[in-house]
Amino acid sequence: MTAFAKTYLSKQERIPAALLVSSYLFGMVVLAHGLLDGFVYLTGLHLIFCAVLILTTHRPMPSLRIWIWLGVTYIIGWVAEYIGVHYKWLFGEYAYGDVLGPKISGIPLIIGVNWILVVYGVCTTLNMVFPTMNRILKAIVAAILLVALDYLIEPVAIKLDFWTWALGDPPAQNFIGWLGVGLLQTALFYLIIPFTENRLAPVLLLLQIIFFGYLSVFG
């Protein structure tokens, strides 16, 4: 653990942070260089693992607001994906592969957890970097950052067979859809848990950027 990490993180946060960092970096290297066959099928379990780590450092706990937000975000994320896959007008024409685990009506159950992680990471980081920013402005900025993150994720997700696009690459409609759904998700975040701070959130966001950036280059 570096001196910076010891200064930045409390004692209670260091073990979750170490587990989060090691899991992302280990998975990044294994997936990028094909070191373990079938390793990608652990993606769903890793998303759950990350969500648990983030919850252990969320404050205040216990909090009814965080559980309400988790449920709302999961449902909106999963339903958005259902509409996207079955009606094709929200994100474009795409379909999920088998990598993300069990599905209902073609939509992985874990996809709602992925929405939870990306929204929490972006919104909580903005809370910490710009604590005095107007909540409406923060929701807009956070939604734009979600689109940028999805732009980074897409090539890797396609390579790993998380999902596939009918035309091979995601259409512009996908990013417009992400902006719309993302704005709804970020607005609800700042409505339900507006003053959340969690020092693992910026770590999570940075790890996601490093993970997908590395796999884009070396995967």
- The Cα–Cα gap between 43 and 22 comes to 15
Three-state DSSP class for residue 107: strand
- What's the pLDDT tens digit per position in 177-213? 999 999 999 999 999 998 888 999 999 999 999 999 9
Three-state DSSP class for residue 11: helix
The predicted pLDDT at position 59 comes to 86
Mean local confidence (pLDDT), 102-113: 98
- The Cα–Cα gap between 141 and 126 comes to 9
The token pair at 139 is 């929701």
pTM of the model: 0.95
Residue-averaged pLDDT of the chain: 95
Report H helices in 34-171: 43-56, 64-87, 111-129, 135-159
Residue ranges of domains in the chain: 11-218
For residue 110, how far is the Cα from the chain centroid?
A: 11
- The Cα–Cα gap between 8 and 17 comes to 11
* Strand 163-165 to 94-96 pairing: antiparallel
- The Cα–Cα gap between 46 and 127 comes to 25
The predicted pLDDT at position 113 comes to 98
The predicted pLDDT at position 61 comes to 81
Mean local confidence (pLDDT), 103-125: 98
Q: Check whether 1 has a pLDDT greater than 70.
A: no
- The Cα–Cα gap between 9 and 51 comes to 18
